[in-house]
Amino acid sequence: MPSPMVQFNNVHKLYGAHAVLTDLSLSVSPGEKLALIGASGSGKTTILRILMTLETIQGGSIFVGGQPLWSPETAGLSPRRREMHLHKMRTNIGMVFQQFNLFPHMNVLRNVTLAPILTQGVKEADARALAMELLEMVGMAHKAHALPAELSGGQKQRAAIARALALKPKVMLFDEVTSALDPELVEEVLNVMRKLALETDMTMLLVTHEMSFARDFADRVLFLDGGRIVEEGPPGEIFRNPQQERTKLFLRKIVAAGLSL
């Protein structure tokens, strides 16, 4: 058993007095594809945002690649030192957002090359070459010089995936990357992610409401409810033979809503 790539130990997360994650522990192996499912408000996005350092935690500790991301020691750092620490840790992590969040004032190519040039000191020419390679992979090379406003939702999201990949993170976070898209555009983005899973050995954490995709894509599915892990296991077992009442209920609702399993 290799040491885990991502490790949550008894994590507590509060918004004000409202506990969003309670005593949450989980670990993700290198290269593993983990799908997080659960009802709205169960804390899926919060888990990803914490990993991306967009949120702090109020208890417990988190390790990425064996190094502490949040821990009692890092909590004691001065704001300046803490930002330095987080800056170092973020080189391992990339995120794709539900709303794409491309920079509207830059073309697609610039969106992709910006961070490697600025944060990793990659040379302009090399960054461009890498970006074109990635854009090729997501099928966006022909739109390299377009502005985000000129793209469809699916194209934006594929560009955003290329942007996150350009930093070569060890862990990629995908937060409902298809739920802002028109139904006919969902598949083009999912295809890119399937390809990614085949061609790379990145660790991926994925929040999705596309259960059939989660089943094909993930090595393991984790069902959350009220900020706790209710059930986890290989997708085949969770979807076909859930053990917990709440999981059954959730999956039944999904089916009733007309979504495929």
Partner 1 sequence: MLAPSQLVSYILPGVILTIELTVLGNLLAAGIAFTVGFARLSKSTWLRLSARIFTEFFRGTSMYVQLFWAYFVLPLFGLALTPFQAAVLVLGLNSGAYASEIVRGAMLALPREQLEACIALNLSRWQRLRRVLLPQALLLMIPPFSNSFVELLKSTSIVSLISLSDMTFRAQTMRTQTGNTAIPFLTILILYFALALFISKVMRALERRLTPKAA
Ligand X SMILES: Nc1ncnc2c1ncn2[C@@H]1O[C@H](COP(=O)(O)OP(=O)(O)OP(=O)(O)O)[C@@H](O)[C@H]1O
Per CB under 5 A, residues contacting Mg ion are 45
Is residue 229 close enough to count as binding ligand X by CB under 6 A? no
Distance CA 45, CA 88 (A): 22
User: Would you say 40 or 78 has its CB closer to ligand X?
Assistant: 40
Question: Contact 8/188 with Cβ under 8 angstroms?
Answer: no
HSE-CB for 190 with a 13 A CA cutoff? 22
CB of residue 157 to ligand X, shortest distance in Å: 16
CB of residue 115 to partner 1, shortest distance in Å: 4
Query: Angle at Cα 170 formed by Cα 111 and Cα 156, nearest 5°?
Result: 30
Residue type, 98: Q
- The 15-54 contact track toward partner 1, x by CB under 8 A, reads -------------------------------------xxx
Q: Where does this chain touch ligand X (CB under 6 A) — which range of 33-41, 116-124, 134-142, 186-194?
A: 33-41
Distance CA 98, CA 108 (A): 17
Strand, coil or helix: 225: strand
How many CB atoms lie under 10 A from the CB of residue 252? 11
Residue from 8, 24, 46, 218 binding ligand X (CB under 6 A): 46
- The 116-145 contact track toward ligand X, x by CB under 6 A, reads ------------------------------
Distance CA 150, CA 211 (A): 30
Total site size for ligand X, rule CB under 6 A: 11
Please state whether beta strands 228-233 and 220-225 pair in parallel, antiparallel, or not at all (unpaired).
antiparallel
CB of residue 46 to partner 1, shortest distance in Å: 13
Total site size for partner 1, rule CB under 8 A: 30
Is residue 94 close enough to count as binding ligand X by CB under 6 A? no
Q: Where does this chain touch ligand X (CB under 6 A) — which range of 15-23, 65-73, 156-164, 186-194?
A: 15-23
Is residue 106 close enough to count as binding partner 1 by CB under 8 A? yes
Helical segments of the chain, H only: 44-51, 72-75, 79-90, 108-120, 124-137, 153-165, 183-199, 211-217, 235-240, 245-256
Question: Contact 158/138 with Cβ under 8 angstroms?
Answer: yes
Is residue 119 close enough to count as binding partner 1 by CB under 8 A? yes
- Dihedral sign (CA 143, 147, 148, 152): negative
- The 70-99 contact track toward partner 1, x by CB under 8 A, reads -------------x---x--xx-xxx-x-x
Q: Which residues here bind partner 1, judged by CB under 8 A?
A: 52-54, 83, 87, 90-91, 93-95, 97, 99, 101-107, 114-115, 118-119, 145-147, 150, 163-164, 167
Q: Which residues here bind ligand X, judged by CB under 6 A?
A: 15, 18, 20, 38, 40-46
